[in-house]
Amino acid sequence: MNSIDYARENKQKHLDELIDWLRIPSISTDMAYKPEVQKAADWLVDSMKTAGLENIQLIESPFDLHPLVYADWLHAGEDKPTVLIYGHFDVQPPDPLELWDSPPFEPEVRDNNLYARGSSDDKGQTFIHVKAVEALLRTEGKLPVNVKFICEGEEESGGRTLSDFLPKNKELLKADVALVSDTGILSADQPSITYGLRGIYYDYIDVTGPSIDLHSGMFGGGIDNPLNVLGHIIAGLKDLDGNVLIPGFYDDVRELSAEERALLAQLPFDEAGWLAHTGASRVWGESDYTLVERLGARPTLDVHGIIGGYTGEGGKTVLPSTVHCKVSMRLVPDQDPEKIKKQFRDHVLSMAPDTVTIKFGDDTHGSIPSITDYSIPPMKAAKKAYTAGFGKEPVFMREGGSIPVVAEFQEHLGLETVLMGFGLPTDALHSPNENFHLPNFYRGIETSIHFLTEYGKA
Amino acid sequence: MNSIDYARENKQKHLDELIDWLRIPSISTDMAYKPEVQKAADWLVDSMKTAGLENIQLIESPFDLHPLVYADWLHAGEDKPTVLIYGHFDVQPPDPLELWDSPPFEPEVRDNNLYARGSSDDKGQTFIHVKAVEALLRTEGKLPVNVKFICEGEEESGGRTLSDFLPKNKELLKADVALVSDTGILSADQPSITYGLRGIYYDYIDVTGPSIDLHSGMFGGGIDNPLNVLGHIIAGLKDLDGNVLIPGFYDDVRELSAEERALLAQLPFDEAGWLAHTGASRVWGESDYTLVERLGARPTLDVHGIIGGYTGEGGKTVLPSTVHCKVSMRLVPDQDPEKIKKQFRDHVLSMAPDTVTIKFGDDTHGSIPSITDYSIPPMKAAKKAYTAGFGKEPVFMREGGSIPVVAEFQEHLGLETVLMGFGLPTDALHSPNENFHLPNFYRGIETSIHFLTEYGKA
C-alpha cells in the first residue's frame, strides 16, 4: 500500500481524530480559556507521536501565555531540502453563539462539511500535514524531505510567544522553505496558491467624557457625549465609498503593475457566489479597483466592535462616561504597521474635541504585508501537488487576510513561505457556523503527500 | 403635637421605612423584574394604609405590564380644592454595577446621603407625600385639602398603563391641580420650583449589512461594514458643537423671550459645582445660549447606547452583520414628538447607503414638552411652602428632564402641574451611586405639609 492509498483508506479515522481535537475550545483571545489551549497543544503532541514524528517538544510561553509545539523528522538525507511546516491550534471566540446551527465545540458533519470553530482555521488545515507525514512514514518508512513542525496557540491573539521564540531559535528552525496552510482556495473545483497576503494594524479606542454616567435630561446639551463623539471619529476614518481618510495612509502603497492586474483579472473568481454567501445587498468599495484587487491588493479599515452606554433591554437615557471601540486596518506592500499606527493615532487625536480624552490599546498588534516569488522550486512543487491532489492546475492569487508569521519567517529565518491553503470562501472563518469542506480535507492530505514528494525530487 | 413635630420626631422611622422600600429592585425596563415592580406596588399599598389613606386600589395593567396604585382622602370639604399627587415606584436599571460603591439595592447612608437606586428617582420623593399625609392625619385627624394619589410602575419604561388609564378615569382622578415630585432643586440651600420640562423622543436604530458576521481579512474592502456606516449616521445627527442636523428639527422651537432669558440669567446656578460633579473637562453646547438655557429651554440629541461586533476581551477581526444603537432627542415647546420622529427617521434613512438596511424601534416613546404658569394659586402655595420648609424663598426654573405624565395630566384631565422637586444635581439619577440627600427628605415632608396647609387657605 502506498501513502495515497493509506490516506484514502483511513478517511473516517482521520475525520474522527480531527473531530476529537475540535471539541477543545482553545480560544486564545480570552485568558479564561488558557487551560483549553494547553489541552489542544497536548492533543497535538500525542497526534504527532502517533504520526511517527520525533523530538517532539511542548514549549511553555515565557509570558505565561500559550505554548508552542515543535517536532521533526530529519532522516531524508543532507542533500534533501528541509520544510518548516507551520500551523496553529488556537481559535477565534465563537460569539454570537445563538447564530450557530450546531454548538461550535460539538463538531457536526452536514452536507459533506464539518461544522466547528477551528475546523478550517486552523486545526483542520494543520492536521492535514500531520496525517500526510503519518501516511508516508507508515507506508514507506521515510519522508522524501526533512520536515520540521512549529505550531502555535496564539495566532488569533497576537502571536507574542512565537515572535519571541523565532529569533532565539534560528538553528532549531533552520529550513529551506516554510509551508503554511492557513488560507483558502478559490473553490472546491479550482485550487489556487496565495502568493500575497495583507498585513494588519489593530488598535483600540476608549473615549471618555464625564467621569460618571449622567442623566441626559439633566445634562444633555450641556455636557458632550462620548458616543456622539465616537460617531464623528469613525466617520472621519473612512468615507462611505471606502476611502480611508487618515492623512498619509496610502503613501507607501505599492501600485499594482499592469501585468499583475491582468493576472488578477483572469482569476476565475465567482463574484456572484461570493456575494451570495455574505448576504449583503451588493459588493462595495473603492471604485477605481476591481473586487479581487480590493480584497487582496488594496488596504482598508474596519470597525470590529463598539460597546458603550446602556445596551440592555429597553431604553435608558444615559450620557455615558467611557465608550469602547475596536478597529483595524488591512495593509498591503509596502505599508508599515508602525508608521500606520502613528498616522492612525495622530488622526484620531486630531479629530477628538477637548471635551473628551482618548486612550488607545496597550496590546495592539501589527503584521507587515508579504509577497512570495511564485517561480521558486517549492512554489513549482506546490503547483504540481495541487494538480495531482485536485485534478486541476492551481491559479496564483493574493489574499486579503493577515498571517503575521509569514513576515516573521522572512525576517528572522530568511524563509520564503509557500501558502498551501485548503479553505473555501464559504468556510465562515471567525463567524458562526465555521466549517471545513471534507473533500478539501481529504484532498489536502494527498496534496501534502504530493508536495513533500515533488519537493524531494527538486 | 402638631404635624411638623410629628415629622421631626419620626425621622428615623421614616428613613427605615424608605430603606425597606428601596430594597426592592423594581426595574420596569426589564420584564424579568416584573414581580419586583409588583412587590414595590404592594409595599406602597401597605404604606398608604398605615398613613390613613382610603379607597386604596391596586390596578392591574391591561397590557400585562406593571400595576398602578390609587388612594384618596376626600373629607376636607367641598369648598376645599383637590390635589392629585403623582409618584412612581419603578426604577432605572442599575448598570454598570461595578461602579457602585455599595450595592444599588442594599441602601446605605454615607455623609447624610442615602445611596440606592430609586432613592431620589422616585421612591424617596413619592414617599415624602405619603408621610406628609400621615403626619397631618395622625396629629390633626384631617387634611386641609382633598387628596388623591396616582402612582405608577412604568415611568422609566414608557408609562403605557397610566397613559391608557388616564383618559378612561377622568372622574376618579378629577382634581384642581396635580402635584409631582420627580425633579430637583438647585442646591440644598436654594429651593426652586420647576415650571418647564423638556419632552423627549426615544428611538432605536438597527443597521444590518451582511447576513452573517464576516472575516475582515477575506471581506474587508469588498463588503460594507454596518459599524462604519453607523458612525456616519451618528455624525450626521448632531455636529461636534451641539447643533442637531436633522432638517426641520428647530422649526417649532419657541424662542425664549427677553424677559425669560433675564429671569433665567438671575438663577443662582452653581456652574462650577455642576461641572465638577460631572467630571467632564468643560461645559459644552450651542454657543448662542447660556448653559441654563441649553439645559432647560433648548432641544438636543444624545446617543445612549451602542453594541455591535465583537465586544469581548482582545481583538477579533469581524465585519459584523447587525449593530444596535439607542438615541433620544430632548424637546422643548412647541416641538411635537410625532413630527420629530418622522424627521429623525427620514434623516437617518437619507444618510444610510444602499449597502445596509435600517430597522427602527417598535416600542419607541415620546412625551411633549410642557410649561406651567407660575402665577396660579397652587404655585403660590408651593412658593410659601418651600420658604417655610427650607427657610429660603424658592426660585423658578426650567428643567431638562422629561416627565411625560405632566403633559398627559394637561391633555386628559385639564390639570396644571406643580413640580415640587426635592432632588439635587448630585443625586446621580440613572447613574451608579444614585443617592438622596437626607436633609431634603426630611424638609420635603415638612414642605409637603406646608403646601397642603397653604393651598387649603387659598
* Range 368-397 of A in CB contact (< 8 A) with B: none
Q: Does B273 touch chain A (CB under 8 A)?
A: no
What does the block give as the cell for A264?
Answer: 488578477
Q: Does A209 touch chain B (CB under 8 A)?
A: yes
Whole-Å CA distances, B136 to B4, B130, B140, B448: 8, 10, 6, 10
H or E stretch covering B343: helix B337-351
Chain A residue numbers with beta carbons less than 8 Å from the beta carbon of B353 are 240
Beta strands B199-208 and A370-371, pairing class: unpaired
Whole-Å CA distances, A418 to A76, A176, A390, B418: 20, 11, 17, 78
Q: Does B12 touch chain A (CB under 8 A)?
A: no
Q: How confident is the model at residue A371, as a pLDDT? A: 86
Is the Cα torsion angle B340, B344, B345, B347 positive or negative in sign? positive
Task: Give the helix ranges, DSSP H, for A169-309.
Answer: 216-219, 226-235, 258-265, 271-278, 291-297
CA dist., res. B306 & res. A204, Å (int) = 16
Q: Does A324 touch chain B (CB under 8 A)?
A: yes
Angle at A312 between CA B408 and CA A225, to 5 degrees: 75
CA dist., res. A339 & res. A14, Å (int) = 45
Asked if B181 and B422 touch (Cβ cutoff 8 Å), the reply is yes
Q: Does A268 touch chain B (CB under 8 A)?
A: no
pTM for the whole thing? 0.78
Q: How confident is the model at residue B287, as a pLDDT? A: 95
Whole-Å CA distances, B352 to A93, A281, A298, A325: 30, 13, 24, 21
Q: How confident is the model at residue B413, as a pLDDT? A: 95
| Closest-CA distance of chain A to residue B416, Å | 21
CA dist., res. A213 & res. A196, Å (int) = 47
Asked if A294 and B280 touch (Cβ cutoff 8 Å), the reply is no
Chain B residue numbers with beta carbons less than 8 Å from the beta carbon of A435 are none
Chain B residue numbers with beta carbons less than 8 Å from the beta carbon of A323 are 306
Whole-Å CA distances, B333 to B79, B254, B299: 35, 6, 9
Q: Please tell me which of the candidates A216, A228, A312 has its beta carbon nearest to residue B234.
A: A228
What does the block give as the cell for B100?
Answer: 457602585
Q: Please tell me which of the candidates B221, B281, B291 has its beta carbon nearest to residue A222.
A: B291
At A191-230, the pLDDT tens digits run 999 989 999 999 999 999 999 999 999 899 999 999 999 9
H or E stretch covering B314: none
Asked if B264 and B292 touch (Cβ cutoff 8 Å), the reply is yes
Residue A23 burial (CB < 10 Å; 0-12/13-18/19+)?
middle
CA dist., res. B271 & res. B278, Å (int) = 11
Distance of CA B373 to the CA centre of its chain: 20
Q: How confident is the model at residue A8, as a pLDDT? A: 97
CA dist., res. A373 & res. A25, Å (int) = 36
Chain A residue numbers with beta carbons less than 8 Å from the beta carbon of B425 are 218
- In DSSP terms, A359 is beta-bridged to A206
Q: How confident is the model at residue A62, as a pLDDT? A: 97
Would you list the domain boundaries of chain B? 3-197+369-457, 199-253+299-367
Task: Give the helix ranges, DSSP H, for B220-310.
Answer: 226-235, 258-265, 271-278, 291-297
Q: How confident is the model at residue B299, as a pLDDT? A: 97
3-state secondary structure of A372: coil
| Closest-CA distance of chain A to residue B123, Å | 17
Asked if A294 and B222 touch (Cβ cutoff 8 Å), the reply is yes
Chain A residue with minimum CA distance to B227: A303
Asked if A323 and A306 touch (Cβ cutoff 8 Å), the reply is yes
3-state secondary structure of B159: coil
Asked if A326 and A237 touch (Cβ cutoff 8 Å), the reply is no
Ranges of residues in chain A whose predicted pLDDT is under 70: none
Look at phi and psi of residue B433 and say left if phi exceeds 0, alpha if psi is from -120 to 50, else beta.
Answer: left
Chain-chain contact of A279 with B312 (C-beta, under 8 angstroms): no
CA dist., res. B250 & res. B444, Å (int) = 37
Q: Does A347 touch chain B (CB under 8 A)?
A: no
At B202-237, the pLDDT tens digits run 999 999 999 999 999 989 999 999 999 999 999 999
Q: How confident is the model at residue B396, as a pLDDT? A: 87
One-letter amino acid of A362: D
CA dist., res. A253 & res. A199, Å (int) = 12
Neighbours of B354 (CB within 10 A): 9
Beta strands B82-88 and B146-152, pairing class: parallel
At A304-317, the pLDDT tens digits run 999 999 999 888 89
Q: How confident is the model at residue B404, as a pLDDT? A: 79
> Residue holding cell 479629530?
A351
Q: What is the dihedral of CA A384, A386, A388, A391, to 10 degrees?
A: -130
* Range 32-91 of B in CB contact (< 8 A) with A: none
How confident is chain B (458 residues) per 10-residue block, as mean pLDDT?
96 98 97 97 98 98 97 97 98 94 98 98 98 98 98 93 96 97 90 92 98 94 98 98 98 93 88 94 97 95 98 92 98 95 98 98 88 88 97 91 86 93 92 97 98 94
CA dist., res. A339 & res. A238, Å (int) = 18
Chain B residue numbers with beta carbons less than 8 Å from the beta carbon of A278 are 210-212, 214, 219, 223
Is the Cα torsion angle A85, A454, A190, A13 positive or negative in sign? negative
Q: Quote ipTM for the complex.
A: 0.78
Asked if A43 and A137 touch (Cβ cutoff 8 Å), the reply is no
Chain-chain contact of B214 with A312 (C-beta, under 8 angstroms): no
Class of domain A3-197+369-457: alpha beta
Asked if A211 and B280 touch (Cβ cutoff 8 Å), the reply is yes
Three-class DSSP labels, B359-423? EECCCCEEECCEECCCCCHHHHHHHHHHHHHHCCCCEEEEECCCCHHHHHHHHHHCCCEEECCCE
Asked if A192 and A422 touch (Cβ cutoff 8 Å), the reply is no
Asked if CATH classification 3.30.70.360 holds for the domain at A199-253+299-367, the reply, yes or no, is yes
| Closest-CA distance of chain B to residue A360, Å | 13
Q: Which of B397, B430, B434 to mutate to test the interface with A (most CBs of A within 10 A)?
A: B430
- What secondary structure letter does DSSP report for A410? I
Look at phi and psi of residue A70 and say left if phi exceeds 0, alpha if psi is from -120 to 50, else beta.
Answer: beta
Crossing angle of helices B123-140 and B438-457, rounded to 10°: 50
